[in-house]
């Protein structure tokens, strides 16, 4: 009996022991599962934090990109570089320039560091415009640096071999090198590497300015389909390492790897000061690297257990990066066993039957410890945290940071409605139905502060459940300052600072959106392209200050005559665009165009000036004239130029044949560049005859173009295009050199005082640019032709448009001994001021005055008066367009000095002209 009783007791004890062991194993298994889940949660939280940081960086890259491209589209004139020239130093030993010291009017908060290869002088206008674009981004660079304290550099790198970093940090920090354009942040932006023009992250590389290992976020810059460079933000590996620090992760290592298997962040293996980047295999535990060759070999939904380690992976949003967690399994076991105290085994024996019902439990000590840890984390966290009861609209708990933010004590927080803490979009208090509808995730909302201020906050909402209830756990971040900065940057990127009108970027986005809606609704809209007719004269003669005020008045006057649904934008300069949505009839667009023309035809009062300008308007209709914003605006621009050609102050609707004319003009622009390079131009010379002795006195050099497809072209067919594109500079220099070559051959044909002169036409661009004048002076000196043998012909139109600049240039040439001739005088409103203020030595009468000579007309009286006036002012008089003996007779009788025209000779080749040196021209006049 005793033996049986003992056996029974032993059996019962064995059952109890087995039950305890089973409970302990079940508890261990549950703890292990919970531990893995907590590490997954920590991994996901880290992933959200890193993704949020990289997303913010890319958002600022997008803002910089829009601002840069907007500048190129909206600004066509250069102003800033000339003021910065005193701050640029050129180092000839290294063949680079750099911003050296900042002198007035600039200070360190206005500009940044500018450095590049070669001498900054003598570049093409587009080079300086690109440089000015970079300088104009300084406020946005500075705002970006302030909003992204984790960034190392914020900069723009140009394909023109210069670099701009803002704000200013001292010229000794860096210098542009030959390797700059070969680094990945530039090569990945190039069109053939990045045809989609998408923003990107680089691989790890060594910074050329000594800042160590880093990665770069960058985006290519395009304007009018032309690649200009890239904007970029650098992040060092030490900063990235900070992204993966997790105080709540007691075991394991978090690290970031890119698709090139480079380590971007690791607790021990990455450092900005390392010479090379560590690689993915180096981060794997010994033995594990034999089984894993790529981050994608590691799963994302569960831990991979291999060789005593557990590994899991997640992807970082919108980057080519992976976030990985590696944990040693022995460390997990140690952490769990440490929690399983001997008291738990004793408690398991005491509560055996309860343990059979409840598979695992927490001891009172563990629960208290867990609560204490939670309370310490909750109360000492700087982030605003609150727990809400959505059903009862109550605050369950709030940490001290929340009490400070909302302005209530902890006792008051427990007694107020939860919905009272936040405001609706209209800044009104929310009702109680708002809280139950709040869902997990991120949201932006206005928070009501204790001092009746409101702040914009970013709120992360998580739902927490227990057996009895459901609560909402909120983490709140004040983003008021950030949103204010972003709004300021948005205004700079999308609105014209002078008129406060939408700029080109905003116009294209809005117009494309309208087109999409009108397409769905089968509706019509119109685009009006407005160009002010005489704005340039106001700017040039009265200054940019008056011009800016005029533009503001123009924008206000236009806005006052448009509907709220209409859009008015400033494209740049004196160009405006109006979008008229939901047109009923085409005549509606005509009605608006007439009203706007009438408004702009009325005078403007700007300070002491009464200004009359007028405008020309081109009109396109959707969908007839285009189905996208670019086409509609381009065609409206073409129609506007047609309105200008027809006399200005009128509107024109686009017609398809206008597009063909514009295409032909564009083709001719390319042909001119090719002709300049391939020397398709040649010269002819029309003799100028001394009317006293009827011998050759000189010749006018006339440019001719033997076009490979169209044959010989007259200058009137291409010179205006060459002037607009800037090719006139090269063409004019070529013309001057070749004309002087002929003059050099004539030096010994006659005595010095009877040397024939060569007359060359001078363009507007030469007149207003001191560098071009310097080139002409150099060409004249190198030719060894006496300066008095050269006559430069100028038109009144060019002189009046930029009088002061022209006057300085002409005085320089006059002091050299070059003679100046005023061409086409007597045609239109001739200016006596030019004759008085400029050193004119020759007056060339327009052919329209000469045409009716010999018929006793008013032209004869006017011509005679001009000859007498010119001779009284010690000027030689040239009559062009002489074609009849009667005209010649009147000219000789009036005392005119020289004649030019087909009566004497058509334009001739240089060899034919040289044969006329000794010729006496014989013309039978009526008197003869």
pLDDT for the residue numbered 316: 92
pLDDT for the residue numbered 108: 61
pLDDT for the residue numbered 660: 60
R_g over Cα of the chain? 41
Q: Summarize pLDDT for 403-444 with one digit per residue, the tens.
A: 888 878 777 877 777 777 777 766 677 766 677 667 777 878
Instruction: Kindly tell me if the per-residue pLDDT of 662 is higher than 70.
Output: no
- Any idea what the Cα angle at residue 117 is, between residues 115 and 122, rounded to 5°? 100
Q: What is the rounded distance in angstroms from the CA atom of residue 244 to the CA atom of residue 240?
A: 7
pLDDT band of residue 557 (cuts 50, 70, 90) is very high
More confident residue, 502 or 179: 502
Q: What is the rounded distance in angstroms from the CA atom of residue 740 to the CA atom of residue 735?
A: 9
Q: What is the rounded distance in angstroms from the CA atom of residue 248 to the CA atom of residue 239?
A: 19
Instruction: Kindly tell me if the per-residue pLDDT of 232 is higher than 50.
Output: yes
pLDDT band of residue 633 (cuts 50, 70, 90) is very high
Residue 376: which region, alpha, beta or left (left: phi > 0; alpha: psi -120 to 50)? Answer: alpha
Q: What is the rounded distance in angstroms from the CA atom of residue 913 to the CA atom of residue 911?
A: 5
Q: Summarize pLDDT for 8-22 with one digit per residue, the tens.
A: 655 665 676 676 666
- Work out whether the CA dihedral 159, 165, 171, 175 comes out positive or negative: negative
More confident residue, 651 or 854: 651
Instruction: Kindly tell me if the per-residue pLDDT of 28 is higher than 80.
Output: no
Instruction: Kindly tell me if the per-residue pLDDT of 83 is higher than 80.
Output: no
Instruction: Kindly tell me if the per-residue pLDDT of 862 is higher than 50.
Output: yes
Q: What is the DSSP string of 820-876?
A: EEEEEETSSS--HHHHHHS---EEEE-HHHHHTTTS--HHHHHHHHHHHHHHHTT-E
How does strand 226-236 pair with strand 321-328?
unpaired
The tokens for 43 are 């991994």
pLDDT for the residue numbered 3: 47
Contact 207, 239 (CB under 8 A): no
Q: Which region among 8-12, 263-267, 467-471, 643-647 has the lowest average model confidence (pLDDT)?
A: 8-12
Helix axes 125-136, 2-74, angle to 10 degrees: 130
pLDDT for the residue numbered 9: 52
The tokens for 782 are 């190198």
Instruction: Kindly tell me if the per-residue pLDDT of 121 is higher than 80.
Output: no
Instruction: Kindly tell me if the per-residue pLDDT of 348 is higher than 70.
Output: no
User: Which DSSP state fits 608?
Assistant: T
pLDDT for the residue numbered 362: 43
Q: Summarize pLDDT for 680-706 with one digit per residue, the tens.
A: 888 899 999 999 989 898 999 998 888
Q: Summarize pLDDT for 760-796 with one digit per residue, the tens.
A: 988 776 676 677 788 888 888 888 888 888 898 887 7
pLDDT for the residue numbered 544: 83
pLDDT for the residue numbered 343: 44
pTM for the predicted model, two decimal places: 0.44
Other CB atoms closer than 10 Å to residue 139's CB: what's the count? 16
Contact 286, 278 (CB under 8 A): no
Q: Which residue has the tokens 């794997």?
A: 284
pLDDT for the residue numbered 19: 66
Spatial CA neighbour of 80 closest among 52, 46, 56, 114: 114
């Amino acid at each position: 009996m005793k033996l049986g009783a003992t056996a029974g007791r032993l059996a019962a004890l064995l059952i109890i022991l087995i039950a305890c062991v089973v409970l302990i194993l079940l508890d261990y298994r549950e703890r292990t599962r919970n531990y893995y889940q907590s590490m997954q949660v920590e991994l996901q939280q880290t992933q959200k934090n890193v993704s949020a940081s990289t997303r913010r960086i890319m958002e600022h890259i997008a803002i910089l990109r829009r601002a840069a491209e907007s500048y190129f589209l909206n600004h066509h004139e250069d102003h800033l570089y000339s003021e910065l020239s005193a701050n640029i130093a050129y180092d000839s030993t290294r063949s680079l320039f750099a911003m050296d010291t900042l002198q007035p009017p600039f200070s360190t908060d206005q500009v940044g560091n500018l450095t590049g290869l070669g001498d900054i002088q003598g570049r093409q206008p587009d080079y300086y415009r690109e440089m000015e674009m970079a300088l104009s981004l300084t406020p946005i660079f500075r705002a970006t640096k302030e909003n992204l304290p984790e960034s190392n550099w914020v900069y723009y790198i140009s394909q023109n071999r210069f670099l701009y970093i803002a704000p200013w940090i001292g010229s000794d920090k860096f210098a542009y090198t030959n390797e700059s354009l070969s680094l990945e942040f530039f090569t990945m932006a190039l069109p053939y590497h990045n045809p989609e023009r998408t923003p990107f992250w680089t691989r790890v590389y060594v910074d050329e300015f000594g800042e160590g290992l880093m990665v770069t976020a960058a985006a290519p810059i395009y304007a009018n389909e032309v690649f200009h460079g890239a904007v970029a933000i650098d992040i060092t590996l030490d900063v990235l390492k900070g992204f993966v620090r997790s105080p709540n992760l007691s075991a394991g290592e978090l690290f970031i790897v890119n698709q090139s298997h480079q380590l971007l962040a690791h607790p021990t293996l990455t450092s900005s000061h390392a010479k090379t980047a560590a690689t993915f295999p180096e981060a794997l535990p010994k033995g594990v690297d034999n089984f894993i060759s790529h981050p994608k070999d590691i799963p994302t939904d569960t831990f991979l257990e291999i060789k005593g380690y557990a590994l899991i992976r997640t992807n970082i949003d919108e980057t080519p990066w992976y976030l990985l967690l590696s944990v040693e399994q022995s460390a997990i076991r140690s952490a769990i066993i440490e929690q399983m105290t001997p008291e738990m085994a004793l408690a398991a024996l005491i509560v055996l039957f309860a343990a059979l019902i409840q598979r695992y439990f927490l001891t009172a000590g563990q629960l208290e410890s867990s609560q204490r840890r939670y309370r310490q984390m909750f109360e000492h966290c700087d982030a605003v945290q609150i727990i809400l009861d959505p059903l009862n609209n109550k605050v369950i708990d709030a940490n001290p940071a929340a009490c400070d933010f909302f302005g209530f004590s902890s006792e008051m927080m427990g007694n107020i409605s939860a919905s009272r803490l936040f405001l609706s979009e209209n800044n009104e208090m929310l009702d109680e139905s708002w809280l139950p509808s709040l869902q997990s995730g991120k949201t932006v909302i206005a928070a009501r502060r204790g001092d009746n201020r409101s702040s914009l906050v970013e709120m992360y909402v998580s739902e927490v459940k227990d057996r009895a209830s459901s609560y909402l756990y909120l983490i709140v971040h004040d983003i008021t300052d950030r949103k204010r900065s972003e709004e300021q940057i948005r205004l700079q990127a999308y609105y014209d600072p002078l008129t406060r009108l939408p700029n080109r970027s905003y116009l294209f986005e809005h117009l494309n959106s309208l087109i999409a809606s009108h397409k769905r609704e089968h509706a019509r809209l119109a685009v009006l392209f407005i160009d002010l007719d005489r704005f340039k004269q106001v700017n040039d003669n009265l200054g940019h200050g008056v011009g800016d005020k005029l533009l503001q008045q123009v924008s206000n006057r236009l806005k006052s005559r448009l509907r709220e649904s209409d859009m008015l934008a400033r494209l740049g300069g004196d160009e405006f665009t109006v979008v008229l949505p939901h047109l009923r009839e085409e005549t509606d667009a005509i009605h608006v165009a007439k009203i706007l023309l009438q408004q702009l035809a009325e005078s403007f009062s700007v300070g002491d000036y009464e200004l009359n300008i007028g405008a020309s308007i081109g009109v396109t209709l959707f969908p007839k004239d285009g189905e996208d914003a670019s086409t509609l605006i381009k065609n409206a621009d073409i129609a506007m130029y047609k309105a200008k050609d027809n006399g200005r102050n009128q509107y024109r609707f686009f017609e398809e044949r206008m597009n063909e004319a514009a295409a032909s003009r564009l083709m001719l622009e390319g042909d001119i560049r090719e002709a300049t390079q391939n020397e398709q131009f040649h010269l002819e010379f029309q003799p100028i005859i001394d009317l006293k002795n009827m011998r050759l006195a000189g010749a006018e050099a006339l440019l001719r173009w033997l076009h490979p497809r169209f044959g010989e072209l007259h200058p009137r067919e291409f010179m205006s295009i060459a002037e607009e594109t800037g090719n006139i500079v090269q063409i004019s220099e070529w013309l001057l050199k070749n004309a002087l070559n002929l003059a050099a051959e004539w030096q010994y044909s006659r005595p010095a005082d009877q040397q024939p002169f060569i007359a060359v036409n001078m363009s507007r661009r030469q007149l207003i640019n001191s560098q071009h004048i310097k080139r002409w002076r150099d060409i004249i000196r190198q030719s060894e032709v006496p300066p008095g043998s050269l006559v430069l012909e100028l038109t009144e139109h060019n002189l009046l448009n930029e009088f002061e600049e022209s006057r300085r240039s002409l005085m320089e040439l006059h002091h050299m001994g070059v003679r100046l001739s005023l061409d086409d005088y007597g045609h239109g409103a001739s200016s006596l001021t030019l004759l008085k203020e400029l050193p004119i030595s020759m007056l060339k009468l327009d052919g329209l005055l000469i045409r009716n000579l010999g018929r006793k007309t008013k032209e004869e009286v006017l011509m005679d008066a001009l000859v007498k006036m010119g001779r009284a002012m010690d000027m030689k008089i040239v009559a062009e367009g002489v074609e009849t003996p009667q005209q010649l007779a009147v000219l000789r009788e009036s005392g005119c000095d020289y004649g030019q025209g087909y009566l004497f000779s058509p334009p001739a080749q240089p060899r034919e002209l040289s044969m006329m040196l000794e010729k006496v021209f014989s013309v039978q006049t009526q008197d003869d």
